């Protein structure tokens, strides 16, 4: 049994227990052992965090210039770079994701901070020509206020940073509610945030298993924007609750993304890209390429190549360098994924590989590829969030586009072709927020990310993300001191 780390809430620049005094355990999905203990926050703690965040806006943080904020962000980026390896290990212990992947994610956190620090001192309004000779009109971009950020367990710090970096650049304060499966990395990040020297209350972390705690954050009238990443069902509830007090929302929700492979594609590259899209992170990613649409003439060759590659995927300890897939995050997620597999087989789909329990036991689900899938099957329409691929053949370009767009989701898509004309033509017709051509799963701080339809609304990353964390104020200056008729609009 390893030593169990214990944490307090991080509120107003100080560490304190939850008002209830209660805690809960965090379990490593690979070892099934408790490795950390965190506070069970309630609505009282949320209120305390929101009050602290608003106080920061009314105090030192709110009076800082964009240049001041940028300096602090760059200081935080350097600290995160220094501790990237330690944060990566914590992420992997929390959710079972490969250290090979979390190491890359933690190294890129600094990129988001540096990029948005570069924007912090360039947030500006504009002058507006007046239709009247005696007025000067200009706009200001001011922080929207306190942001309630709710992030899932699959990429906790990365998805947090997509919200935090633009919010800090805009001058907002943040209350973070991490997943109850992976709260530890948020508290460890808070330690680095504190070290960077930000004013008290700019960043706050509350952990809880209770739905009521998340609801308290979303419904709090001191929260001016909610940034949520998670399931579509919960995202709709978040939007409805936030709308009750007209808080803005950014929602990055589910996906059933298609990888479309044409017969002129490099099949070896396409097979590698499909593997990356569905089996990396054990399929536990919103952008998982969980539908493979392949032109009928190359269907068998491509599926065969994918199955052969999948046979060599090594399941095991996510901290081991030679592991390719770790376990699923929890008993609940294991039940969800295996339930989808069982129902797909019952509906008539054929498991070209997988479909049964992994010999490793525990929370492992091996690579699974289903052929003989019809477009109306559950496995072709619903998000599984596991390493399960549904293969559907098509005959021509129009059919491929129709099948891709025949989904309530529209988060991402992949196109594999050697024709640059077709790549552009198809990309323009797909209803997806991100389209990759001859690659998959690439993101960058300057590239907007978000979805169509049930995949949410708003965009994270990119320069426009900062604008989503600001309010626009219009200022009218009368320049001649005229007195006008008070009953006539001037």
Helix (H, G, I), strand (E, B) or coil at 335: helix
Give yes or no: residues 225 and 297 share one domain: no
Could you tell me if 173 and 13 are in contact, meaning their C-beta atoms sit under 8 angstroms apart?
A: no
Angle between helical axes of 84-95 and 66-82 (0-180°, round to 10): 70
Give yes or no: residues 159 and 294 share one domain: no
Task: With CA atoms as reference, report the closest residue to 187 among 198, 176, 171.
Answer: 176
CA 225 – CA 206 distance, rounded (Å): 17
Give yes or no: residues 409 and 361 share one domain: yes
**Is residue 448 assigned to a domain?**
no
Give yes or no: residues 262 and 244 share one domain: no
In this structure, the number of other CB atoms found within 10 A of the CB of residue 97 comes to 29
Can you tell me the mean pLDDT for 325-349? 97
pLDDT given at position 188: 98
Can you tell me the mean pLDDT for 366-393? 98
Catalytic choice (91, 101, 252, 383): 252
**Tell me, what CATH number does 416's domain have?**
3.40.309.10
pLDDT given at position 2: 61
CA dihedral 115, 217, 187, 91 (to 10 degrees): -70
How many domains does the chain fold into?
2
CA 399 – CA 396 distance, rounded (Å): 5
Give yes or no: residues 116 and 246 share one domain: yes
Task: With CA atoms as reference, report the closest residue to 56 among 199, 238, 193, 259.
Answer: 199
Give yes or no: residues 281 and 305 share one domain: yes
Given a cut of 70, is residue 1 above it in pLDDT? no
Beta strands across the sheet bearing 23-27: 5-6, 34-39, 23-27
**Is residue 479 assigned to a domain?**
no
The per-residue pLDDT of the chain, averaged, comes to: 97
CA 16 – CA 161 distance, rounded (Å): 24
Residue 490's pLDDT band (boundaries 50, 70, 90)? confident
Q: Which residues make beta-bridge pairs with 410?
A: 452
**Is residue 430 assigned to a domain?**
yes
pLDDT given at position 224: 98
Write out pLDDT tens, residues 96-106: 999 999 999 99
Write out pLDDT tens, residues 96-155: 999 999 999 999 999 999 999 999 999 999 999 999 999 999 999 999 999 999 999 999
Write out pLDDT tens, residues 408-444: 999 999 999 999 999 999 999 999 999 999 999 999 9
**Is residue 149 assigned to a domain?**
yes
Given a cut of 90, is residue 483 above it in pLDDT? no
Helix (H, G, I), strand (E, B) or coil at 408: coil
User: Rg (Cα) of the chain, in Å, rounded?
Assistant: 24
**Is residue 445 assigned to a domain?**
no
Helix (H, G, I), strand (E, B) or coil at 4: coil
Give yes or no: residues 315 and 245 share one domain: no
Known catalytic residue: 172? no
**Is residue 450 assigned to a domain?**
no
In this structure, the number of other CB atoms found within 10 A of the CB of residue 440 comes to 26
Give yes or no: residues 344 and 429 share one domain: yes
Give yes or no: residues 421 and 463 share one domain: no
6, 31, 54, 147, 337 from 220: Cα distances, Å: 28, 38, 12, 11, 34
The residue segments making up the domain with residue 343 are 258-437
**Tell me, what CATH number does 181's domain have?**
3.40.605.10
Q: How far apart are the first and last CA of the chain?
A: 75
Write out pLDDT tens, residues 17-38: 999 999 999 999 999 999 999 9
Known catalytic residue: 286? yes
Could you tell me if 87 and 80 are in contact, meaning their C-beta atoms sit under 8 angstroms apart?
A: yes
Task: With CA atoms as reference, report the closest residue to 318 among 91, 98, 33.
Answer: 98
Can you tell me the mean pLDDT for 64-73? 98
5, 75, 444 from 50: Cα distances, Å: 26, 25, 30
**Is residue 244 assigned to a domain?**
yes
Write out pLDDT tens, residues 440-466: 999 999 999 999 999 999 999 999 999
CA 469 – CA 171 distance, rounded (Å): 8
Give yes or no: residues 411 and 464 share one domain: no
Q: Residues 6 or more apart from 60 whose CB is under 8 A from it?
A: 199
**Is residue 444 assigned to a domain?**
no
Give yes or no: residues 52 and 146 share one domain: yes
Give yes or no: residues 181 and 210 share one domain: yes
Catalytic choice (286, 378, 382, 408): 286
Write out pLDDT tens, residues 262-293: 999 999 999 999 999 999 999 999 999 999 99
pLDDT given at position 357: 84
């Amino acid at each position: 049994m390893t030593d169990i780390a214990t944490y307090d809430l991080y509120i107003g620049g100080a560490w304190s227990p939850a008002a209830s005094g209660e805690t809960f355990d965090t379990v490593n999905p690979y070892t099934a052992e408790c490795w950390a203990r965190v506070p069970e926050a309630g609505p009282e703690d949320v209120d305390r965090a929101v009050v602290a965040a608003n106080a920061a806006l009314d105090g030192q943080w709110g009076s800082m210039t964009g240049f001041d904020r940028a300096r602090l962000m760059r200081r935080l980026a350097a600290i995160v770079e220094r501790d990237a390896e330690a944060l990566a290990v914590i992420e992997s212990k929390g959710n079972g994701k490969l250290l090979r992947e979390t190491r890359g994610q933690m190294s890129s956190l600094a990129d988001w901070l540096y990029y948005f620090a570069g924007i912090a001192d360039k947030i500006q309004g504009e002058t507006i020509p007046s239709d009247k000779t005696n007025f000067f009109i200009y706009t200001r971009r001011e922080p929207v206020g306190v942001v309630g950020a709710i992030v899932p367990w699959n990429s906790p710090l990365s998805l947090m940073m997509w919200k935090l970096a633009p919010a800090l650049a805009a001058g907002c304060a943040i209350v973070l509610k991490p997943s109850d499966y992976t709260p530890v990395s948020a508290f460890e990040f808070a330690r680095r945030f504190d070290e960077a020297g930000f004013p008290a209350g700019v960043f706050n972390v509350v952990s809880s298993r209770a739905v009521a705690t998340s609801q308290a954050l979303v419904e709090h009238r001191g929260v001016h924007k909610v940034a949520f990443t998670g399931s579509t069902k919960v995202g709709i509830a978040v939007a409805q609750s936030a709308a009750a007090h007209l808080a803005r929302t950014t929602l990055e929700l589910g996906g059933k993304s298609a990888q479309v492979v044409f017969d002129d594609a490099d099949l070896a590259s396409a097979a590698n890209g499909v593997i990356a899209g569905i089996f990396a992170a054990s399929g536990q990613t919103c952008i998982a390429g969980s539908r493979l649409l392949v032109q009928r003439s190359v269907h068998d060759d491509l599926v065969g190549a994918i199955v052969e590659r999948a046979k060599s995927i090594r399941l095991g300890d996510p901290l081991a360098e030679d592991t390719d897939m770790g376990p699923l995050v929890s008993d609940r997620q294991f039940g969800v994924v295996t339930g989808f597999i069982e129902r797909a087989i019952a509906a008539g789909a054929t498991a070209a590989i997988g479909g049964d329990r992994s010999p490793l036991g525990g929370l492992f689900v091996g690579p699974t590829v289903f052929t003989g899938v019809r477009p109306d099957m559950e496995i072709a329409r619903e998000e599984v969030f596991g390493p399960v691929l549904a293969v559907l053949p098509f005959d021509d370009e129009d059919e491929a586009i129709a099948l891709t767009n025949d989904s309530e989701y529209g988060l991402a898509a992949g196109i594999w072709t050697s024709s640059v004309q077709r790549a552009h033509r198809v990309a323009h017709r797909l209803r997806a927020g991100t389209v990759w051509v001859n690659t998959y799963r690439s993101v960058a701080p300057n590239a907007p990310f978000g979805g169509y339809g049930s995949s949410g609304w708003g965009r994270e990353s990119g320069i426009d993300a900062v604008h989503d964390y600001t309010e626009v104020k219009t200022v009218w200056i009368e320049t001649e001191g005229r007195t006008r008729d008070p009953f006539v609009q001037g």
